[in-house]
Amino acid sequence: MERLELLSSVDLFSQLSQRDLAVLAGHASFYDFAPGECVFEAGTADRELFVIDEGEVRIVRTGDDGRELDLARFVAGESFGEQDFLSESPRTASAVSDRQSRILIFPTRGTSLDAVMMEHPKLFARVLHQFLVIVAGRIRSTNQLVSENSSWVQELRQQVFGDKLTGLYSRTYLDDELGGLLARNRGEAGLLMVKPDNFKLINDSYGHEVGDQALRILANRLRAILREGDVAVRYRGNEFAVVIPSSDARELVARAEEIRELMRQADLGPITGGAEIPLTFSVGLAVYPKHAGDGPTLVTCAHEAVFAARDDGGDRVLCPAHSAGGS
């Protein structure tokens, strides 16, 4: 029954009858994955569909520079793998369990999808029809976005670069968009890396589910204190990034101090049963083009600065020691 209910939540199977879902459930199995364990690797071509019962999974790709890039994140109740399900093309990314996860996989590993399809051809004709309906709907949605002249770019970017947990942009935004933003910007721009000094206390005391709720609260707090033109990003884990365009270095330092102070006012009481957890924040600030002449270097400078701030006791703002090209 549990497998049937999970499969019915998948868009691809949502219009199937209980009888059809029962057939699919009979060819699906639960698998447990430890934190950091690979669910599937890039380059493989297994035709599988995944539904998360418990835990969290990241879809990752290795960039040309060897760095791991987060493309998407899925949590309990969500499914992934639909795009590859009816294709025999090799996967272009890997999936990694971010914590202890229990995942329903269809078909059961070691079972050929082609064999299941040949055994139940009418059922899979209905699945293929639903797939075409979904694709057609997505095309209509895209056309609708394009017709909304004032907002379609923002909405499309949020779909491509959005972080599912917090609603902020994801790290992929910095990797793909920061260089162009800096090139279009006139004058200096700042990149802040904002990291709570004692976030581990929340996870250790209340568990990762409450930790996720805390990240949402912090993301909402950060979003509320930004100004027009600022861009907020969940960089990774509990680390946030803020892009501040068209500001001089002195103003950027003042903004970094302001953000650090205002983030401390985030109210976590609703998720801790009223217990106070006084969070402090370290902020690493790098200025373009003073500290770096391109996006990746700017990210590296700000990231190094935030960890230097933490090593120096935390609850402070730090900038790189040298300008770009300095010694």
Share the mean pLDDT of the chain.
87
- Taking only the tens place, the pLDDT of each residue in 106-130 is 999 999 988 999 999 999 888 888 8
Which tokens belong to 294?
A: 């391109």
Q: What is the pLDDT of residue 148?
A: 44
> Facing residues of 8 across strands?
none
Q: What is the pLDDT of residue 267?
A: 92
pLDDT class for 308, splitting at 50, 70, 90? Answer: very high
Q: What is the pLDDT of residue 185?
A: 77
- Taking only the tens place, the pLDDT of each residue in 41-99 is 998 888 899 999 999 999 999 877 778 888 888 999 899 887 777 777 788 899 999 99
Q: Per-residue pLDDT for 220 more than 60?
A: yes
Region(s) of the chain under CATH 2.60.120.10: 2-141
Compare 202 and 161 and report the one with higher pLDDT.
202
Closest CA to 4 of 38, 36, 32, 27: 27
Q: Per-residue pLDDT for 144 more than 70?
A: no
- Taking only the tens place, the pLDDT of each residue in 13-39 is 888 899 999 999 999 999 999 999 999
- Taking only the tens place, the pLDDT of each residue in 243-290 is 998 777 888 999 999 999 999 999 999 999 989 888 999 999 999 999
Reported for 61-68, long-range contacts at CB under 8 A and 24+ positions apart, including other chains, are 61/92, 61/93, 61/94, 63/175, 65/296
Q: What is the pLDDT of residue 90?
A: 85
Strand order in the sheet with 169-170: 169-170, 231-236, 239-245, 189-196, 281-288, 317-318
Q: What is the pLDDT of residue 54?
A: 95
What is the CATH superfamily name and number for domain 2-141?
Answer: Jelly Rolls (2.60.120.10)
- Count the Cβ atoms, other than its own, within 10 Å of residue 150: 6
pLDDT class for 214, splitting at 50, 70, 90? Answer: very high
d(CA 36, CA 107): 23
Under 8 Å between Cβ of 45 and 89: yes
Percent of the chain at pLDDT above 90? 55
Q: Per-residue pLDDT for 136 more than 90?
A: no
Q: What is the pLDDT of residue 135?
A: 65
Q: Per-residue pLDDT for 299 more than 50?
A: yes
Region(s) of the chain under CATH 3.30.70.270: 152-318
The model scores a pTM over 0.85: no
Classify strands 231-236 and 239-245 as parallel, antiparallel or unpaired: antiparallel
Which architecture, in CATH terms, is 152-318? 2-Layer Sandwich (3.30)
Which tokens belong to 174?
A: 């910095």
The backbone torsions φ and ψ at residue 111, rounded to the nearest 5 degrees and listed phi first, read -105, 130
Which tokens belong to 35?
A: 């934190």
pLDDT class for 138, splitting at 50, 70, 90? Answer: low
Highest mean pLDDT among 156-170, 178-192, 286-300: 286-300
Q: By mean pLDDT, which of 8-12, 82-86, 109-113, 298-302 is the weakest?
A: 82-86
